[in-house]
Structure formats: structure tokens, C-alpha cells
Amino acid sequence: MIDEGLKSELQKQGVYVTTLEDLYNWGRANSVWPLTFGLACCAIEMMAASMARFDLARFGAEVFRPSPRQADLMIVAGTVTKKMAPLVVRIYNQMPEPKYVIAMGACAISGGPFKQGYNVLKGVDRYIPVDVAIPGCPPRPEALIHAIMTLQEKILAQKLTGPDRPRHLNADVASEFPVPAYGPHDLEPSKNDAVWHPPMIKR
């Protein structure tokens, strides 16, 4: 690894030194392409974040793609009903690696105000891994921008090699997740045990 002091001294002389890992992550972090995918009112805030006033383009994430095949980031913006959940998982499976998920708003995190309903999934993290969760009902566009910046930090910190390397660099880890089936009263299974465990609460 290059010494930080030397690196900065070289930069002053017009020589830029970096590592392949930094370059690779820098490129990925600054061109996150989200999927054009909104489920409820949070999607309105997502649209606002990408428009002129809040200008998501400043963070390289303005290219909303209508196809999961071309997207890196799924912003789950809104209530995930049990009827919609298998489709969300299927769209996530169709995205190529590396892929990331932002759960936007109270509904996508936990079911939100509809948590006790019979038809709303209690958090999209029951089926797919969530990288960043934004609370709020709905979160303001600034909160979404903050989530994208948090995701960028997460991408920049990823290692190319070693046991901690991300899923897309590890051939042994599956990148697709089982799609739940419609059951007589609930989805079957009602959660993916490999992804989600109910957090232990001390009472």
C-alpha cells in the first residue's frame, strides 16, 4: 500500500497514484444506476429527488433504467404488498451483480402503518438483503440522497479479494433468492430464513 503522505506529495507534483481496488470502487460508486421502480407514495419523493430541484445527478445516480438487466440499485420505494412481494424478488433476481437495495420509507422497512394488515409484507428484508434503510413516511428527497451517499461509502469500502469480498466477486455465494409462492393466507414461505432473522429484543 502506498503511504498517504507520499500519495498527497505526488499529487501536488501532478502524479496520481492509486490502487486498482480504489479505482474500481470509485468508478462503481459514482455511476449507480437505479431501477425505475416505485410501489407507492415514496416513489413520488424518489422522482422529486431525481428532478432539477434535488438533482440526484450530482451523485451519479440519475440514470434510472426501466429494465432490471441494466440496473445496479433497486430502490424499494413504498408499501410491498404480499401480492407484489414475489414480483419484487423476481425483479431483484433479474438484476445483474453487483446489485444493491435501498429500502425507502417505513413500509419497505417494516410494513409501516400497514404492518398489522393481512396483506402487507412486514419489511422487504424478509426476502432480499437490504443495504441501506431510510426511515420516514415518506422520507424527504434529501434522505434518499443521504442513502445514496451512504451506499457509495459502502461500495468504496468493499474489498476485491479476501473472505470479506462482496457477493459478486464470490462465485460460491448465490446471487438469486427464492421467490415466495402465493399460499392460501400468506406467502409461502412467509420469510426467507437465510436472509432474515427476527432481531432479538431484550425485555
Partner 1 sequence: METLEQIKSHLEAALPSAKIEIVANECAAGERSLLVDAASGFAVAKFLRDDAQLKLDYCSNVTGVDWPDKELTEKIKVKQVVDGVEKEVEEVKKTIRPGFLEVVYHLYSMALKHGPVVLRMRTENRADKTHLPSLTPLWRGAEFQEREVYDLYGVIFDGHPDLRRILMWDEFVGFPMRRDYIAPDDFEYEPTPHDEVLVEAKKHYPAEPKAEVKP
Interface contacts to partner 1, rule CB under 8 A:
82-83, 116-119, 122, 182-186, 190-191, 198-199, 201, 203
Residues 6 or more apart whose CB falls under 8 angstroms from that of 129 comprise: 101, 195
C-alpha–C-alpha distance, residues 191 and 40, integer Å:
22
> CA-CA distance, 144 to 105, in Å (whole number)?
9
Rg (CA), the chain: 19
Considering the complex, what minimum distance in angstroms separates the CB of residue 76 from partner 1?
18
Contact 151, 131 (CB under 8 A): yes
User: Minimum Å distance from CB 191 to partner 1?
Assistant: 8
Number of residues that this document lists for the chain: 203
CB of 86 to partner 1, least distance (A): 9
Question: Do residues 59 and 189 make contact, with C-beta atoms less than 8 angstroms apart?
Answer: no
Q: In the bound complex, what is the minimum distance in angstroms from residue 131's beta carbon to partner 1?
A: 20
Closest CB to partner 1 among residues 31, 119: 119
**Closer to partner 1 by Cβ: residue 57 or 194:** 194
Nearest CB to partner 1, comparing residues 98 and 129: 129
> Smallest gap, in angstroms, from Cβ of residue 180 to partner 1?
11
Task: Starting at the earlier edge strand, list the strands of the sheet with 132-134.
Answer: 73-77, 100-104, 132-134
Residue 43 CB, shortest distance to partner 1, in Å, is 20
Sign, CA torsion 160/164/168/169: positive
Residue closer to partner 1 (CB basis): 62 or 186: 186
First to last CA, the chain: 47
Closer Cβ to partner 1, 99 or 191, answer by number = 191
Report the residue number, 12 or 197, with the smaller CB distance to partner 1: 197
CA–CA distance, 127 with 124 (Å, rounded to integer): 6
